[in-house]
Structure 1
Amino acid sequence: MESSYTIVIADDHPLFRNALFQSVNMAIGDANLLEADSLDALFSLVKAHEDTDLVLLDLKMPGANGMSGLIQLRADYPNLPVVVISANEEPSVVSQVKAHGAFGFIPKSSDIKSLIGALNQVLEGEPYFPDISSSYSQEHYELSQKIATLTPQQYKVLTMLSDGLLNKQIAYELNVSEATIKAHMTAIFRKLGVKNRTQAVILLQQTETEH
């Protein structure tokens, strides 16, 4: 395989970044590998390197809240393949990642052989996801699909609601008016099919499994 790929490894753990670095080199040879340890650093790299072929993204990084990093990447760079590499391998997380348009999901527990196989598959243009159908309900799948209809800003508002912030605090954090937040809320409730913030937060929490 040609070694002309530009790949961004976005993970805030240096040891894991190093392990990924070695695995990518073993999979595809002398790639141009860039590293980011936060969401801001990731977006700066992608902006500076328009020829980026792939982003390997950890969900839990400074600046990221839940799926927010993935959602923002998909919104800003819809043609850039993003593969999530996460320690949280719950079916609900894999399903959400898929619903939000990721090109793949690689569990951090994967051995080197599996990791190299997954990377090769992705770089050949084939999505890679572990099989979750046997232990995953249709209800959870539909929940993930609903959450995936939210815009990046709506998702941010929902995660802030989940953290217990008031409209006024969310407006301050996002540097917008309270009226804008209320408009976002209306749209969020409509998309999720709920009537109030409590129901919206419960829906979000049902799709997330914290470790």
Structure 2
Amino acid sequence: MSTRILIADDHPLFRAALRSAVVQVEPEAAIAEVDDLAGVMARLEAEPDTDLVLLDLHMRDSHGLTGLAALRAQHPAVAALVVSGTEEASVVRRALDHGAVGFVPKSTPPADIIIAIRAVLGGQRWLPPALVQALESAQSDPADAALATRLARLTGQQFRVLAQIGEGRLNKQIADSLGIQERTVKAHVSAIFEKLGVRNRTQASVLLQRLRLQQK
């Protein structure tokens, strides 16, 4: 069975560069491309046996760590290698805390991107050599690590409900969007509040805001 890899980036040229790197590592890989988070989720629903997602941190419907958190909550068996225009050690640390198997700045030379993909497909973590030392001093934020742990308790459907809570949608609107009963949404909301340790929608939304990063 061939390796399945999903490339998620809203820049066609960079998707092409990533595809080229993947082909050099796994010539027979089944490669798919999407340009937004909705596409990521749709593809993974159709192909849950995907081995690796190369995930951009900033797409039109996903900014910062929201896409990574969604992927880890809804498809925990799928590895995520983050690609990003930022090279800040604090962002790399946060991505790792939220479950990324590695981090590739978009300035990374093509030869190193190949090395990164080969490493994570082999079950290793990969970080840019230039950032390894800086990362050692970029300690995890206890609040951020705790948030990652809490989000990991959510089911995929609960995370979808949480995302819509963060957009300010009411239970009926969420029910219509997800094609479920309003009472089911209410049950999910209660479970979400309990798992996240929050009391209301405002507090839940504030937690989600922690996942957003200033776009570079």
TM range (shorter): 0.7 to 0.9
Q: CA deviation at 1:129?
A: 4.6
1:32 to 1:143, Cα distance in 2 relative to 1, 3 A = closer
Paired position in structure 1 for 2:44: 43
Match of 1:147 among 133, 148, 151: 151
Match of 1:72 among 71, 74, 90: 74
Number of residues paired by the alignment?
200
Contact (CA 8 Å) 1:106, 1:115: kept in 2 or not? Answer: yes
- Go from structure 1 to structure 2 and tell me whether the alpha carbon gap of 1:96 and 1:119 turns closer, same or farther (over 3 Å shift): same
- Between the aligned partners of 1:41 and 1:54, the Cα distance in structure 2 is 15
Q: Answer whether contact 1:96 1:207 (CA < 8 A) is retained.
A: no
- Evaluate the alpha carbon distance shift between residue 15 and residue 156 of structure 1 in structure 2; reply closer, same or farther with a 3 A threshold: same
Residue aligned with 1:105, SS: strand
| Greater displacement, 7-16 / 199-208 | 7-16
- Which of structures 1 and 2 has the larger relative contact order (alpha carbons within 8 angstroms, sep 6+)? 2
The partner residue of 2:53 within 55, 58, 68 is 55
Aligned to 1:120: 118
- 1:40 and 1:63 in contact (8 A); partners too: no
Partner in structure 1 of residue 79 of structure 2: 81
Picking from 151, 168, 173, the partner of 2:172 is: 168
Q: In the alignment, what sits opposite 1:134?
A: 137
2:82, 2:102 within 8 Å by CA — same for their partners in 1? Answer: yes
Tell me by how many angstroms 1:162 deviates.
1.0
| CA shift digits 1:53-79 (9 cap, x unpaired) | 4332335557768333443333xxx2x
TM-score by length of 1: 0.75
Kindly, what percent of the aligned residue pairs are identical? 41
3-state DSSP class of the match of 2:75? helix
Question: What is the CA deviation profile of residues 112-135 of structure 1, one whole-angstrom value per residue up to 9, with x for unaligned ones?
Answer: 233222112112221225654533
In the alignment, residue 34 of structure 1 is paired with which amino acid?
I
* Contact 1:92/1:209 (8 A) holds in 2: no
Instruction: Give distance in 2, aligned partners of 1:190 and 1:41.
Output: 28
Structure 1 residues 174 and 209: CA distance shift in structure 2, 3 A: same
Cα drift, residue 155 of structure 1: 1.2
For residue 104 of structure 1, what is the amino acid of its counterpart?
Answer: G
Unpaired segments ≥5 residues, structure 1 = none
| The one of 101, 104, 107 aligned to 1:106 | 104
In structure 2, distance between residues paired with 1:41 and 1:178 = 23
Change (3 A) 1:16 1:22: same
The runs of 5 or more residues in structure 2 that have no matched partner are none
The letter of the residue matching 2:148 is S
1:25 Cα deviation after fit: 3.6
Aligned-partner SS, 2:168:
coil
1:23 aligned residue (13, 16, 21):
21
- After superposition, the CA RMSD in angstroms is 3.1
| SS of match in other structure, 1:43 | helix
1:190 to 185, 189, 194: 194
Report the residue type matching 2:211 in the other structure. T
Provide closer, same or farther for how the CA distance between residues 93 and 45 of structure 1 changes in structure 2, counting only shifts above 3 A: farther
Inter-partner Cα distance in structure 2 for 1:150 and 1:88: 28
